[in-house]
Amino acid sequence: MLRRLNQLFSLKAFLADKRGVSAIEFAMVAPLLIMAYLSLAELTLGMMASRRTSHLAATIGDLAAQSETLSSANITDLWAIGTSMLQPFSTGTNLKMRLTCVTMNSSNQAKVIWSVDNGNGLAEYTNGATLATVTTAQISANESLIVTEVEYDYDSPIGNFLPGETKFKDTFFHHPRNGAAVTGPS
């Protein structure tokens, strides 16, 4: 009996025993696989938020450019559309939107006709201010343009794989479709 017990606990027998190897290998590999899965999920959610931010900017600008006149109620509706387009991501104060109408003057300077924001941090431009981001390559003298700017501070729902908040920004330029310029809210 003692001999049998020694045989069971000998180092040679222990090293030759292959039972449980799969469990040990899985325990070593599982954390890496879980981290890879969560990282890919994080990346996918971030890319989806980025694409929705760009799509939101394009859609809001396109809807504004289709109008001849935008009232305050129309602008409120555009902000509501923007908020709903980012679902399932939470927006709150993380979503900043600004619509601006500019006209190129004879001195080749883009002057702000009107500007409105959704009140979350992108301040309205002052009427008559020069907007340097609009050039003569985009519009000629006496033409106007709708500029849509969107910023979204993305905070991942999964965790801390991406450092802190990630800011997605996009700007779109649209020519008015019905008339020379879109009249904005007073």
Structural domain spans, the chain: 20-174
Which long-range contacts link 107-115 to residues 24+ away (Cβ below 8 Å)?
A: 108/136, 108/141, 110/134, 110/135, 110/139, 110/145, 113/144, 113/181, 113/184, 114/183, 114/184, 114/185, 115/184
Please give the average per-residue pLDDT across 68-84, as a whole number: 92
- Residue 20 DSSP SS3: coil
Q: Are 182 and 75 in contact (CB under 8 A)?
A: no
pLDDT at residue 125 is higher than 80: yes
Q: Are 121 and 167 in contact (CB under 8 A)?
A: no
Please give the average per-residue pLDDT across 150-160, as a whole number: 81
Please give the average per-residue pLDDT across 42-69, as a whole number: 92
pTM of the model: 0.79
Pick the closest to residue 72 from 129, 117, 127, 123 (CA basis).
117
Please give the average per-residue pLDDT across 153-161, as a whole number: 74
pLDDT at residue 149 is higher than 80: yes
Q: In this predicted structure, which of 50-64, 65-79, 115-129, 145-159 has the lowest mean pLDDT?
A: 145-159
pLDDT at residue 43 is higher than 90: no
Please give the average per-residue pLDDT across 50-75, as a whole number: 93
Q: What pLDDT is recorded for position 159? A: 64
What is the residue type of 11?
Answer: L
